Structures are given as structure tokens and as C-alpha cells.
Structure 1
Amino acid sequence: MEYLAKYITEDIKLSCYEDKFFKSDIMFDQHMLVWFLSGETRIVQADATYVFGKGDIFLIPRNQLATIINYPKDGHPHKTVVMHLSTERLRDFYAGKNINPGHFTSRKIYSFSNHPLLESCLASLIPYFEMKAIPEDIAALKIMEAISILRTLDKEIDDVLANFEEPGKINLSDYMEKNFMFNLPIEKFGYLTGRSLTTFKRDFKKAFAMTPQRWLTQKRLELAHYQLTQKKKRPLEVCYEVGFENLSHFSFAFKKQFGYAPSELLTRQ
């Protein structure tokens, strides 16, 4: 995979994937504002799937689990401008403002496609990627401008951007049943359910009577079998959607669990 990135600062980058395909399971530590220049992205969450392409602008809130699949399209690479809206920047922006955000529970991705103000703000960044260095205050001003525009476009966005709470302790069983298909370290699952690693493992064993890794593998294989037999999906597609890192590992684990390879289901069907 050929990946190229140009940075204005650590919070603003031009990202480019030249290859045919890139997939990653991610927990976003910061809010992320993305503007598409070319290519296509499929974002799969527990309860929704989004597809974005050229010209689209969207905001992914922090602490969200998602599978990200990036593709080139129409002969052009997957290319985006990405702006991280860090907690530190947002605290500076909201300092002195009388904002009392509500309890943020939404998991959705916010789309602002084809809006001239936001597109103009992000497009103005392009020339800076060709410069060797720019003053830090210029980058900060661009981020502040983007935040101001987002607040203009969505009056409820303060509930997202001005909320600085860390994940609290939540029902572990419910959360894992909804999010087992995301291939993240156990430590991340612990953080998102409001637990230390030790507490997470202890509570997990009480809830499921087995280790997290064994349970995750079993649940992913069960979902894969359903997708293959009932949804008639291809093994490569299913492999990444249910949380496996590559097709060979998926095929080995599937055959060990069910006694036949995923490809054999295609022949039977």
C-alpha cells in the first residue's frame, strides 16, 4: 500500500492512498472533519453504514468505533483533507462562552456536503500543503474558522464539540454485543466501557464466562457464517466487515470452527 501524507500541522493533513484498497478498524480519539477530493470511503458502524465520495464533507465525533474502508475511484486515488478538532483546541474555542452542552449520546456521523462556506474554508488549506512551513497561528485560525462554520450550520453541534466528558462505566454486555465486529485492542474496549483493563477482563468473564478474545472470535465467526449463507456475501467482503485482519486468518479460523472453508459455501450455493 502506498500511502502519502502532507501536514500543515499535526492536526491538519492531506491524506492520499494510491492502492486499490485500505481497511482499518478505528476508535477516533478526536473529532475529525474530512473533505473528499477523490476516491470513496465506506464507514461501517454498529448501527449504520455511510458511503462518502468526491466533494463530501463530514464530521466523525470522537470515541466512535468504525470500520473504515478506503478505495480509489474512476482512476483517481483516495484523497482527503483531514482536520482534527482536538479537545485542547475546542477547550480554547469554548473558553469564556456560556455553553452548557447536553449529554452526548449520538453515534451518528454528521454530513455537511456541498456547503460553500465549509468547502471554501477547507479548500483554502490546499496551497499550504506545498509550503515547507507556515506559522502555527495560521493553522489555529483555520481550525477556529471551521468550528465557527460548523456551529452556524448545525445549532446542536455544541452538544458534540463542547462536551469533554470521558466515557463512563456502561453495561458491558450490551456494548460488546453491539460492537464485537470492530477489531480493536482489548484496552480500547475497556476504555470505551469506562473500565481499566483489569476490571474489563474481570467483568467480561462474569458476563460471558470466557475470555474476551475467545468470545470475540466466536461472535465474529457466527456473524460471518450468517453473512455468507443468508446475505450471500463474498468471503473477502465478509472477512473485513466482521473484524478479521486478513482473508487467510479468517479462512483458517472459519474452517476450524465449522469444518469447511468459507469458499466452500459459494460452491454449495
Structure 2
Amino acid sequence: MKPKREDFENIVFSCYTQVSRQGEHFVSDHVLSYQIAGDLVLNDGINDYSATDGSIRFLKRNQLLKFIKQPPPEGEFKSLSIYLDQRILKDFSLEYQLTSERKQFNKPLLLLTENPLLQNFMQSLLVYQFSDKLSDPRLVELKIKEALILLLQEQPDLKDVLFDFTEPGKLDIEAFMNKNFHFNVNLDRFAYLTGRSLATFKRDFEKIFGITPGKWLLQKRLQEAHYLLEKGKMASDIYLDLGFEDLSHFSFAFKKQFGLAPSKIISA
């Protein structure tokens, strides 16, 4: 069964009846999310982060993440998320005179554990959601303000993250791409996250790597695939993690590059 999803402005209830493995996810807005049932594993390209029933997490905007949603046995994966977009945060910043002073927050997410106030707040949102009251934008706005106040009471330092409205600055392309090559996103997204226009990104990329971004990404992913296959991994287990959309495309590209089908690579 396909996942069900109901949207009431910036508050989203999600429900999945089967394992849902999403290849990539660009987090464009800050998100405060409550794990109602099931397990969620997030990966930022380096580390895995797990969230179980009852946990609350804060995701920072402008980052790439992969995730696996696992329903409980004979149950459904359920979560409730509040999307804190820039308009909402700018209005809140002006109303409460809050500004960002420091811009150092290198973690992709923050797990908020053992916080009865936030947990009770999220439970109250479920009551509103199931009674269809969150279709009223006035109530949605009030509940998001309440969420922000509770979040800042729990984590005052998040003020410097929430109210930092600057766009990504220029990053080291080589380091960024070597970390994130396995995310299957468009080049304009890579360009944005490294603080460049698409044209500048392509020009800077070719200066460093000597080939176009598209060719480099394909070669890098296939080289990593070859390494993993030699270690005993199965093609069906790795193609999504390496940024390929489907198994047949991966197998075709692999055979073209190495002259052998992935199944012919024997583990050492």
C-alpha cells in the first residue's frame, strides 16, 4: 500500500504500512518531528541516527539525508512533523525580537529525549489532527508558535539556528562531493548547497576534478559499487544507497564501465 499523507499547512501527519526506503531527501526547511510508531533511521552520508517510538527530533534545513522508515510488527509507521519555513520564522523573529548571533551548528539533527512538555504538545496536535481542526490556518499558526516557544525553552541555543536566514556560503567542492556523491539529487541542488550558481559550480568542479560533474558522479558511484561488491555486498542492496534510481540502470552502467555484470564480481 502506498503511504498516506495528510497536509494541513505546515503540520503533516504521515502513515506507512510497509517499509518505505527513500533514496534521498533534501531538507529545505527546519523540521520538528514526533515519532509516533515505528523506527526511523536517518543517514547524513557519514553517520546513522535512529529515532524510536515517542522520540522528538529537530532537523536542520539545507541538508541532504537518506532515511528508512520501518513500521512496527503488524502495525503502521506514524509520524507528525511541523515544517518551520522561513516566512514563519521571520515573523516569529520580528514578533519576539529574536536574532541569530552565532552560526555554528554542525549537527544534521538534534534528538530531544525525555521532554514531557514537547511530548504532551505533540500528543495534543494529534487530537486536533484527527478531529480535522488543523484545517483552520489560524489554529495552525498558533500551534506552530507554541511549538517554537517550547522548543526554545528546551534548547535556547537553537535560536542561532532557527533565525539564521542566510543562504549556504561557498564550501570546498571536493570535500563536499566526496561526502555526498551518493545522493541522487540534481546538479542545481549540489550547486546551491556549495554556495554557487549552477554555472559557477560546473566551472569550479571541472577545475578541480578535470571532468564534468555528471561523469564524475557516475564514475565515483560505480567505483564505490565495485568495492562493495568485492566485499560481498549484493547489487540489490547497494544501488539505492549509491544514488541509482533503479537496479536495471545500475547494472547497465556497471557492465558498461567494467565489462562485467555486478553478479560476476566475486568477493575476495
TM-score (norm 2): 0.91
Give the 3 Å change call, closer, same or farther, for CA 268–207 of structure 1 in structure 2: closer
**For the residues of structure 1 that align with 2:211 and 2:76, how far apart are their CA atoms?**
43
**For the residues of structure 1 that align with 2:156 and 2:132, how far apart are their CA atoms?**
37
Note the aligned Cα RMSD (angstroms): 1.9
Report how far residue 233 of structure 1 moved.
3.3
Report how far residue 127 of structure 1 moved.
2.3
Partner of 2:17: 18
Please give the secondary structure, in 1, of the residue aligned with 2:19. Answer: coil
State whether structure 2 residue 171 is matched by structure 1 residue 170.
yes
1:98-148 Cα distance to aligned partner (Å, 9 max, x none): 534312341331001342111111111112223445432211121111111
Report how far residue 46 of structure 1 moved.
2.2
Report how far residue 255 of structure 1 moved.
2.3
1:197-246 Cα distance to aligned partner (Å, 9 max, x none): 1111122111211111111111111222223334x433223212221112
Please give the secondary structure, in 1, of the residue aligned with 2:82. Answer: strand
Paired residues, what number? Answer: 266
Partner of 2:101: 101
More displaced, 41-50 or 182-191? Answer: 41-50
Partner of 1:126: 126
Partner of 1:152: 153
**For the residues of structure 2 that align with 1:107 and 1:221, how far apart are their CA atoms?**
29
Structure 2: tracts of 5 or more residues without a match: none
Instruction: Give the fraction of aligned pairs with identical amino acids, expressed as a percent.
Output: 36
Please give the secondary structure, in 2, of the residue aligned with 1:125. Answer: helix
Partner of 2:202: 201
The one-letter amino acid of 1:10's match is E
**For the residues of structure 2 that align with 1:112 and 1:207, how far apart are their CA atoms?**
40
The one-letter amino acid of 1:19's match is Q
1:195-234 aligned at under 5 Å gives the runs 195-230=196-231, 232-234=232-234
**For the residues of structure 2 that align with 1:45 and 1:246, how far apart are their CA atoms?**
21
User: Retained in 1: the 8 A contact 2:181–2:217?
Assistant: yes
**For the residues of structure 2 that align with 1:136 and 1:71, how far apart are their CA atoms?**
31
Give the 3 Å change call, closer, same or farther, for CA 89–46 of structure 1 in structure 2: same
More displaced, 60-69 or 147-156? Answer: 147-156
Report how far residue 4 of structure 1 moved.
0.8
Structure 1: tracts of 5 or more residues without a match: none
Please give the secondary structure, in 2, of the residue aligned with 1:157. Answer: helix
Partner of 1:66: 65
Partner of 2:191: 190
1:74-114 Cα distance to aligned partner (Å, 9 max, x none): 12222110110111111122214253431234133100134
Partner of 1:240: 240
**For the residues of structure 2 that align with 1:85 and 1:29, how far apart are their CA atoms?**
10
**For the residues of structure 1 that align with 2:179 and 2:120, how far apart are their CA atoms?**
38
1:151-187 Cα distance to aligned partner (Å, 9 max, x none): 1222311121111110112222221111111110111
Please give the secondary structure, in 2, of the residue aligned with 1:124. Answer: helix
**For the residues of structure 2 that align with 1:222 and 1:20, how far apart are their CA atoms?**
28
**For the residues of structure 2 that align with 1:202 and 1:100, how far apart are their CA atoms?**
33
**For the residues of structure 2 that align with 1:94 and 1:244, how far apart are their CA atoms?**
41
The one-letter amino acid of 1:12's match is I
User: Retained in 1: the 8 A contact 2:27–2:63?
Assistant: yes
Partner of 1:139: 140
Please give the secondary structure, in 2, of the residue aligned with 1:257. Answer: helix
**For the residues of structure 1 that align with 2:264 and 2:114, how far apart are their CA atoms?**
45
User: Retained in 2: the 8 A contact 1:16–1:78?
Assistant: yes
Please give the secondary structure, in 1, of the residue aligned with 2:88. Answer: helix
More displaced, 131-140 or 113-122? Answer: 131-140
Please give the secondary structure, in 2, of the residue aligned with 1:241. Answer: coil
Give the 3 Å change call, closer, same or farther, for CA 171–79 of structure 1 in structure 2: same
Report how far residue 268 of structure 1 moved.
4.7
The one-letter amino acid of 1:240's match is L
**For the residues of structure 2 that align with 1:262 and 1:124, how far apart are their CA atoms?**
50
